Amino acid sequence: MNYLSNEAETSFIIQIHNQYLHALVDEIKNTGDFESANKCFHNLEQKYNILGNETTFALMLKAALYIKEPEESKIAINGFNKLWRLKKRENIGKIFNENSILTNEEILKLFKIMNISFSELKQEYGQILKLAANIEKEKNSGELCLSYPLEDIPELLPTNISGPGLQLLKKSLRPLTDPNIEIDYDIKDFQKGYHSVAFNMARQRLLEDNALDTALERWKWDHEQLVQRGGLRFSKTLNSILFEWHSLMIPLIKEEIERCKNTINNFVDKKLVDNVNNDRLSYGVFIQLLAPEKLSTIAILEILRLHSTGGIAQGMKTARAILSVGKSIEKEYASEILKKNKSFLGKDINLSQIFGNPRQFQTTLQKTQNNINFEINPKWPTVVKAKIGSILISILMHVAKIDIVVKTEKGDTISQKTPAFYHTYQYQKGRKLGVIKLNDQLMKLLSSQPLRGNIHPRLLPMLVEPKPWISWDSGGYYLSKSTVMRSRDSLEQIQYLKIASERNNLKSIFEGLDVLGSTAWAINIPVFNVVIEVWNSGLEFAGIPPAEPNIAFPPQPISKDPADRISWQIQCKQIAKDVQNKQSIRCDINYKLEIARAFLHEKMYFPHNLDFRGRAYPIPPHFNHLGNDLCRGLLTFHEAKEIGESGLRWLKIHLANICGFDKESFLERETFTVENLKNIFDSADNPLKGSRWWLKFDDPWQTLAACFELTAALRSPNPYKFKSRLPVHQDGTCNGLQHYAALGGDISGARQVNLEPSNRPYDVYTKVAELVNEQVQKDAKEGNHLAILLKDKIARKIVKQTVMTNVYGVTYVGARNQILNQLKNIDSLPREMLFNLASYLAKIVFFSLKSMFTGAHKIQEWLNEAARRISKSIDTSSYSGLNHMTSVIWTSPLNLPIVQPYRKSSRKQIKTNLQSIFITDPNDMSPVDTRKQQTAFPPNFIHSLDATHMLMSAISCKNAGLTFASVHDSYWTHAADVDDMNVILRETFVKLHEKNIMENLLNEFRERYKGYKTLISAPKDGKKAEGISSIKKSASQSIKLESLNGNDKSETYKSLLKKNTNIISDKENTTNASNQILKTIDYLNIENANSDFSEKKNIIKTDIKNGIKKDLTHVWVDLEFPPLPKKGDFDVRNLKNKSQKKINPQYLSSPYKNIIYIDGQSILKLS
């Protein structure tokens, strides 16, 4: 007797039941009796423990459609839908692909009842996706909607050669792409179906928790496949090689951990410990915190990620590699601790409920926060991270070998193993650096199968709204630790930030970041389809380098002249460098496209945090809207909004702006778009085979996206009813100068940067170019040979970068280099004169700007002087040495404390297995960098105002129901909402500047630095010295100068941050002394904001060099600030009456809630 196998028997039973169901369904159409079919289905499950296949479910859904009672029909249909999802765990599209059972009309009805979005269907169900697109249009729901039929999405062509390519990344993205992946869920959280918050939260957890295991799994799989195929008969894949290294590293890491344990035990038993083992006492406890398998994986991924970084071709700086590996180990441990404390993600919490109630969610997170903070270890010492990184890299370099195949003269091939990495030294900018280099063969593998370890699943876009920010170190991702500020290892900044968070001062900051993170994004499918076709062609196109670059090196010179050979070598190196750069760019684009492909039908979010100035950035680094033209072209808002008449107008203007036609009036921009409709339609219909008009512009992919959107709108039955998702940009006009104009009340400057409404925008860059041209023409007439060469050659682009950066503190040298780079593009200028020409132009540009923006320059000079005085002062209550001085600290209008991090960091030498490296320990106190504190303060202060305005605008837009995104000074929303957003931007700008920001800053400085002392000096001869001597005498009872000459003691941040009362002198006497000094010493006149004490010191040094040695007299006086420049007549409050449209005042967020600097709530001043 023949027995069927279990699989064959199951298939046979399902087939019999399906045939019976087929007959029943035909009857149900007439009778509406669903019971018989339902019994058959449950009999299959109960008697045979078989759930059925997609045909079974298609038949049952068809039968349920014909139940006479509509409500019962819906219940039955949704029951089968839920059953398929929870038990079969397969893509829902499988059911609807049974076209022989379900008609299009029936599928349409089921889609409506089951509330299915096509984003739930995988790309292989092409016909279903096309149908779903039509259904979505009919539903008119505003959900993600295809305006173009979506074809099956092909795999991305791997770079250069075939192979697993980006399988590591793809493996990490399995929660998005694999319907069979196991997802841990609570069935109560799934009542709303597939797209519930709970389901995406479960996938998000997998996405964040999936990092190292999937990498290791992929390496192991490739290695096993190679062994099964016969090993040496096939060339090894990169992943197979990595698994070999990983396997060899593990026993060596275990040995090192055992040595550490023995050393610690010996120390406890008071046994002798040598120097080597003494090091193990410092890092031994830490290296045991993670499993050897994880330590190995992290080390390999981090080293491969770092290759060709930091200006090191085919390698990396040793110090950077060591610290990067150490930091990654620390982060992974912190992540593991977080996973143990993810109580708010546990099964005892109803996720749908808490996500639907923001207040409840915040309360839940707040309750767990204390426990999480308590259990997570503080930051590891830098020395420990360096030691662990060094150990792991040394082990990796010891075991990592790669096969090199060479041909002999006889044509035979010989294979031998050589080190994959080697350590060496090279000079960079005159300094000898230790570097780790990669073997050429390994580089070839990496270029063909790029494996960027820094595309970490924890740093991908999110599937659910980011965790709300509730404290300085809790927000963004759910399992990965994030901080609200990228503090550049400044413990001083972290201390201020932490206390501000504890005092609930950062409420508005958190709210603004939550708004930015809550903006839902989607992949622009029409643009993606074009990109993937271009990519797979392998050709160079629109910023995408070719898959196989055409390398043509010049022939070797016949001449024996060494100069010719050197020139030839330089050309060859440049060609090789260009090829390497193109390869790097193609690898980077490869990752962007893999991420885009994985998120193709998803709603995604970008969590945000701040830099130390308060500017917001998405945390996912590789694919976001702050990226290049390709990234921006691939992204749209997820939500669609009816465009309306105004929105259609703005969409046309937006397209003109993207094309670079953004200096004309709005009417002229609309006209530009209308006149080019033929080109726009051709770009949308035939992007690759048509005229390719869209490729003419600097941002081709964004241009193409706008062409697709406008074409779809104009061809829709009613263009005004078209639902648009394309972000429309509103770019600021040199925002830094706008803030300066408002601060200084500069009428002329305000007009130049469009603070005054105008139909045609002023172009400050063109105006500066005109002024420079006038001066050049004038100098040319007077015979200036540089001016003669530049006559009629000054274009807008030559001065643009310098004008933009001047307001942010660009130096003369920086401006000269910027202009020099532009002059290189003018072939008619003699090459040998370019430097002199750039120097000449830089001076004229600075002069022109100063004449146009007098108020701005006065403010800038005041900020410079204030920062100089602060950075040269000392807090006498915590004094330990003159070198420490003081950082510039201020509070933004949104209560964010900002600490400039510029200090002359002392470097420690650490001996590691590879080499002695020098590291900077952020825990050590270092003297401030006075010059950097001074020059950086004006631009940083303006950046902080710009960031404040952006966050205020984000909050107000959210309150008004607008979708909002920002790229610093470029604000994005739906086309239909541009008018409303523009009003909000103007209103919030007024709200920001209607308070006297500069007066508040001065008062804050006076309060914050009360009791601080600064040293002034003068030659002993002359009246200046007499004045100082008389002051010293009169203040001798109160000024204890000897206290400033005591022994240096170790200073901590805690003592540095104290702002207590003056211990040096009596306040009244010292103030009087200060006033007398300032009256006596003319070159230190407090009225002169341009006075520069450092310049006077240079004069004294020059005198000494010339043999004129002058004795100096010194005195410590209270730190005082120059008076503010007189404000001009421009009043920003007048702009309120010039807004064309009013927004409900309740939408506007005030940055001045509970922030009165002096006569109310005190500023954050740590004590």
Best CA proximity match to 975, nearest among 526, 658, 514? 658
Distance (Å, rounded) from C-alpha 382 to C-alpha 909? 12
When mean pLDDT is compared across 127-131, 302-306, 1058-1062, the lowest value belongs to 1058-1062
- Among 807, 850, 810, smallest CA distance to 943 is for 807
Q: How confident is the model at residue 20 (pLDDT cuts 50, 70, 90)?
A: confident
Active-site option among 222, 779, 969, 1118: 969
Q: Which of 178, 186, 731, 921 is catalytic?
A: 731
Q: What confidence tier does 903 reach under pLDDT thresholds 50, 70, 90?
A: confident
Predicted local confidence at residue 855, as pLDDT? 78
966 or 194, greater pLDDT: 966
pLDDT class for 45, splitting at 50, 70, 90?
Answer: confident
Confidence band, pLDDT 50/70/90 cuts, at residue 516: very high
**pLDDT, position 379:** 74
Kindly report the backbone phi and psi dihedral angles of residue 670, in degrees, each rounded to the nearest multiple of 5, phi listed first: -60, -45
- What is the CATH code of the structural domain delimited by 629-735+953-996? 1.10.287.280
Full-model pTM = 0.68
The token pair at 1019 is 């030659």
Q: How confident is the model at residue 450 (pLDDT cuts 50, 70, 90)?
A: very low
Residue 873 has pLDDT above 50, yes or no: yes
**Catalytic (active site) residue 178:** no
22 vs 205, more confident: 22
Residue 121 has pLDDT above 70, yes or no: no
Task: Lowest mean pLDDT of 173-177, 687-691, 709-713, 898-902, name the range.
Answer: 173-177
Residue 1127: is its pLDDT beyond 60? Answer: yes
Question: Is 800 an annotated catalytic residue?
Answer: yes
pLDDT digits (tens, 9 = 90+) for 539-553: 888 888 888 888 888
- pLDDT surpassing 50 at residue 1074: no
Q: What is the pLDDT of residues 1086-1108, one digit of tens each?
A: 333 333 333 344 444 444 444 44
pLDDT digits (tens, 9 = 90+) for 272-304: 555 556 778 888 888 888 889 888 888 888 887
pLDDT band with cut points at 50, 70 and 90 for residue 1077: very low
Q: Look up residue 761 and give its two tokens.
A: 């925008």
Least confident range from 7-11, 137-141, 320-324: namely 137-141
| Candidate from 504-513, 562-571, 900-909 with smallest mean pLDDT | 900-909
CB of 83 within 8 A of CB of 112? Answer: no
Determine the pLDDT at residue 363: 53
How far, in Å, CA of 738 to CA of 448, rounded?
A: 48
- Band of residue 186 on the pLDDT scale cut at 50, 70, 90: very low
Radius of gyration of the chain (CA): 34
Mean pLDDT of 103-120: 71
- Tell me if domain 629-735+953-996 and domain 747-852 are identical in fold: no
Residue 160's pLDDT band (cuts 50, 70, 90): very low
What are the angstrom distances between the C-alpha of 606 and each of 410, 504, 782, 965? 59, 24, 58, 10
Across residues 627-633, what is the average pLDDT?
93
Most confident of 48-62, 204-218, 1098-1112: 48-62
pLDDT interval class at 481 (50, 70, 90): confident
- Check residue 431 and give its pLDDT: 72
pLDDT score of 711 more than 90: yes
According to the CATH classification, is domain 747-852 in 1.10.150.20? yes
Q: Is the pLDDT of residue 119 over 70?
A: no
Taking residues 114-120, report their average pLDDT. Answer: 62
Which residues have CB under 8 Å from 626's CB, separation 6+? 617, 618, 967
Residue 412 pLDDT exceeds 60:
yes
3-class secondary-structure state, position 674 = helix
Q: Where are the alpha helices (DSSP H) in 341-381?
A: 351-356, 358-375
Question: Pseudo-torsion of CA 701, 703, 709, 712, nearest 10°?
Answer: -100
* pLDDT, tens digit (0-9, with 9 covering 90-100), for 804-829: 777 666 778 888 888 888 888 888 88
Tokens (6 digits) for 135: 């259904």
For 70-74, 165-169, 1066-1070, which range has the lowest pLDDT when averaged over its residues? 1066-1070
| % the chain with pLDDT above 90 | 20
Starting at the earlier edge strand, list the strands of the sheet with 608-611.
Answer: 485-486, 608-611, 616-618
885: phi > 0 → left, psi -120 to 50 → alpha, else beta; which? left
pLDDT for residue 695: 94
Find tokens 């005042």 and name the residue. 1145
Please determine, for residue 229, whether its predicted confidence score (pLDDT) is greater than 60: no
| Nearest one of 943, 947, 956, 941 to 988, comparing CA atoms | 956
What number is the average pLDDT over the span 1039-1054?
Answer: 36
Q: What is the mean pLDDT of residues 224-245?
A: 62
In the predicted model, is pLDDT for residue 130 greater than 60? no
- Residue 731 designated active-site: yes
Q: Look at residue 472 and tell me whether its pLDDT is greater than 80.
A: yes
Task: Compute the mean pLDDT over every residue in the chain, rounded to the nearest whole number.
Answer: 74
At 947 the pLDDT is 93
Rounded to an integer, the average pLDDT of 247-251 is 90
Q: Are strands 889-891 and 897-899 parallel, antiparallel or unpaired?
A: antiparallel
* Between 1002 and 19, the higher pLDDT residue: 1002
Domain segments of the chain as ranges = 6-116, 248-480, 629-735+953-996, 747-852
Average pLDDT over residues 679-694: 93
Q: Which of 14, 87, 83, 82 is nearest to 47 (CA)?
A: 14
Nearest to 213, CA basis, from 18, 43, 456, 495: 456
The answer to whether the CB of 317 falls within 8 A of the CB of 271 is no
What single-letter DSSP state applies at residue 420?
Answer: S
pLDDT at position 981 over 90: yes
H-helix segments, 1081-1119: 1093-1105
Q: Which of 890, 880, 929, 925 is nearest to 906 (CA)?
A: 925
Catalytic annotation, pick one of 94, 652, 800, 872: 800
Among the ranges given (267-271, 326-330, 1095-1099), the one the predictor scored with the smallest mean pLDDT: 1095-1099
pLDDT cut 70: percent of the chain above it? 66
In the prediction, which pLDDT does 1004 show? 94
- Residue 398's pLDDT is 87
What CA–CA distance (Å, rounded) separates 65 from 851? Answer: 77
Question: Mind listing the pLDDT tens digit for each residue in 548-592?
Answer: 888 888 888 888 788 888 888 888 888 887 887 787 788 778 878
